[in-house]
Structure 1
Amino acid sequence: MSETQTIVPVILSGGSGTRLWPMSRPERPKQLLALTAEETMLQLTAQRTPGGERFAAPIVVANAAHADEVEAQLSAVGMAPSALILEPVGRNTAPAIALAAIAAGGGAAPLLVMPSDHVIADVAAFHRAIEAALPLVAEGWLVTFGITPDAPETGYGWIKIAEEIAGGVHRVERFVEKPPIERAQAMLAEGGHAWNGGIFLFRADRYLEVLGRESGPMVDAAGAAMDGARREGVRVWPDADAFARSPSDSIDYAVMEKAGRVAVVPVSMGWSDLGSWDALHAISERDNGGNAHAGEVIAVDTAGCFVKTDGVRVALVGVKDLIVVASGNDVLILPRGRSQEVKKIIEALKKA
């Protein structure tokens, strides 16, 4: 692949982000929020691949309900997309990426697939990993980026790393689904494993070829949806009836676990998927008491707490290791370490 080969960023922005309730809601999910900087998660993602000789303008796949907000946020940071594909219905990541691959022309262009709501603190390390992968991508390999693990995480998929096949690039021996804690501890101790960060690099034609072989109805539905799409400026509305016929599956299950030539670039780049308030606390600056807070917060004799408010003042006295999040009329309070249980609140709210 030439030094000036242009990479097409594909930003997946269809998630609902309910694990960061009450700030993240279906109408304004976490990728549209400013959680770690002045910019939103979507803006930060787009800015990692600035347009020019190396990166083309991004293709963004988003929920149709968020079209105005996505376009406005990207415009505000000078990252207008070449296409804003507005999903009529959610069908998971594999069909969403198929829509983007077709929009990119379905040829040899390398697609860099990125979720819109991840943190990458060391963008230079990310770019080095991309450069390491490109020669193999040109040969038809599907590449994922393996995050250097620092804990026995059970909320992520893992990758067993095999032999090195090019500088910094290894063959994938196998993907491991989200493991029980004992298995995660064993993989961490053993070494030779990485977290599956959900970021991928491959040629558009190669992706469509493998997906077509493994799930023909998915590629057929995506193709028909794009053939029948309505277009207005950069916005693309795939045909709803055609896309609804697609099976729903993730890229991991539909493609990566089944393809023949799959490689991984292990990389330490300050990555987090911000999958919980605990995860945000872990990467936030803290005061001398170990508290991280944002908004109008008063903390007295308080330690190890994460407090965030976008409106009302929050005051804490004599407590420790709590997560407190206030947004609008809702306040979330729970012990640190249990923020994954926010899903129980979402379920209770749906029943109510």
Structure 2
Amino acid sequence: MTFVSQGVQPIIPVLLCGGSGERLWPLSRARHPKQYISLVDGNSLLQQAALRIAGVPQSAPPVTVANAHHRFLVAEQLQAADIAPGAMLLEPAARNTAPAVAAAAMWALEQDPEAVLLVAPSDHLVRDVSAFHDAVSRGMDHARSGYLVTFGIIPDAPETGYGYIRSGAAIADGVQAVDAFVEKPDAQTAARYLAEGGYHWNSGIFLFAAQRYLDELAAYRPDILEAVTAAWAGRQEDLDFIRLDEAAFAACPAESIDYAVMEHTRDAAVVPMDCGWSDLGSWGTLHAVGERSEETDNVLIGDVVAEDTQGSYIRSEGRLVAAVGLRDAVIVETADAVLVADRERVQDVKR
């Protein structure tokens, strides 16, 4: 789909659909990862993300970048949400976010040489959509003027499961320079970050001009740019999809935007954002954001009976699950597997 800008260039949303969601096994699987599952609020996470960004002012139809195996899931779910995509790009292999966004940028530049991209994971939760839209609006002019904008979540706990962004000098009201990207801290360090202030959780959401991103990729990771350029040149159209060249893309190094560009660029800016965000990265997180009983602190989904059980997330996809005398447990039942875990150990499900 080609669009013609009138006055201000529209923002092109890019939804990254390549995540595997391993930490939400057994519900999330390689062939059907979490972005295509309804975990919170009815719609799948992909549908929620697509509807959320459709409300961003001056937003064009979204571009999705997904694993080729999931192409029909993407198409069917967008159609069910009444979202017409601008393009659906297919990755023949998982190569992380830096190459995926590079391919989307190349598509966007063919539509508009001044295209601005709003890059977002398709498997995150945002409760306050208005606050999200307001944050994007604060970053728009800065992205158009050459900054690579990211969005930092205002922390409300010493979280050890997220990377952090340390903010620097003010650029404008509600926009700050990025001083540093910080790896996931231990509990003591996370508590210090919270006490000191000036640190935000790294949301993995970005806003920047497509050409500006490719220029920074050329400066810091020309090997990635070269491989994606070759994959884009060898692309093939397949029904409503665009398939990147398999051999060229497979030869591309796997790297995230953070490591490839954002940690190196001198023009990174952060917009602090308080929008009820979560990456839904574990069953423990699903317990935290779910509809919990005030009396028991339980989240119970499906055919579940819980007796003398507290602080637990119990989900049945089919059979009756009965729990007695449990504290802080996670039980997830599917057709072919059952997970039983301590709520504080659910990150270990990847093992």
TM-score (normalised: structure 1): 0.95
2:185 is aligned, of 146, 163, 179, to 179
Alpha-carbon shift at residue 149 of structure 1 (Å) = 0.8
Q: Report if the CA contact (8 A) 1:82-1:234 is conserved.
A: no
Q: Alpha-carbon deviations, 1:272-303, whole Å to 9, x = none?
A: 00000000000111122111011111112221
RMSD: 1.5
Alpha-carbon shift at residue 5 of structure 1 (Å) = 3.4
Tell me the equivalent position of 1:20: 24
Pairwise mapping of residues 302-317 of structure 1 onto structure 2 (< 5 A)? 302-317=309-324
Alpha-carbon shift at residue 95 of structure 1 (Å) = 0.4
Tell me the equivalent position of 2:140: 134
CA distance in 1, matches of 2:336, 2:83: 33
Gapped regions of structure 1 (runs ≥ 5): 345-352
2:271 is aligned, of 258, 265, 268, to 265
Q: Report if the CA contact (8 A) 1:4-1:53 is conserved.
A: no
1:113 is aligned, of 119, 124, 129, to 119
Q: Report if the CA contact (8 A) 2:116-2:208 is conserved.
A: yes
149-158 vs 67-76, which moves further:
149-158
Counterpart secondary structure, 2:28: coil
CA distance in 2, matches of 1:195, 1:321: 25
2:63 is aligned, of 59, 66, 78, to 59
Q: Report if the CA contact (8 A) 1:12-1:116 is conserved.
A: yes
Tell me the equivalent position of 1:40: 44
1:325 aligns to 2:329 (yes or no):
no
Alpha-carbon shift at residue 4 of structure 1 (Å) = 4.6
Alpha-carbon shift at residue 81 of structure 1 (Å) = 1.3
CA distance in 1, matches of 2:323, 2:109: 55
Tell me the equivalent position of 2:205: 199
Q: Report if the CA contact (8 A) 2:14-2:120 is conserved.
A: yes
CA distance in 2, matches of 1:3, 1:122: 29
1:281 aligns to 2:292 (yes or no):
no
1-10 vs 73-82, which moves further:
1-10
Alpha-carbon shift at residue 52 of structure 1 (Å) = 8.8
Q: Cα–Cα, structure 1 residues 51 and 232, in superposed 2: closer, same or farther, change >3 Å?
A: farther
Q: Report if the CA contact (8 A) 2:118-2:208 is conserved.
A: yes
Pairwise mapping of residues 156-305 of structure 1 onto structure 2 (< 5 A)? 156-287=162-293, 288-305=295-312
Counterpart secondary structure, 1:49: helix
Alpha-carbon shift at residue 2 of structure 1 (Å) = 9.2
Q: Report if the CA contact (8 A) 1:15-1:29 is conserved.
A: yes
127-136 vs 47-56, which moves further:
47-56
Deviation beyond 2 Å, 4+ runs, structure 1 = 1-5
Amino acid aligned to 1:90: A
Q: Report if the CA contact (8 A) 2:56-2:136 is conserved.
A: no
Tell me the equivalent position of 1:349: none
Amino acid aligned to 2:130: A
Q: Cα–Cα, structure 1 residues 179 and 3, in superposed 2: closer, same or farther, change >3 Å?
A: farther
CA distance in 2, matches of 1:215, 1:328: 44
Q: Alpha-carbon deviations, 1:16-43, whole Å to 9, x = none?
A: 1010000000010000000002100000
Counterpart secondary structure, 2:109: coil
Report percent identity of matched pairs. Answer: 48
47-56 vs 144-153, which moves further:
47-56
TM-score (normalised: structure 2): 0.95
Paired positions, count: 344
Counterpart secondary structure, 1:178: coil
Q: Cα–Cα, structure 1 residues 161 and 51, in superposed 2: closer, same or farther, change >3 Å?
A: closer
2:158 is aligned, of 141, 145, 152, to 152
Amino acid aligned to 1:238: L
Tell me the equivalent position of 1:103: 107
CA distance in 2, matches of 1:83, 1:51: 18
104-113 vs 234-243, which moves further:
104-113
Tell me the equivalent position of 1:89: 93
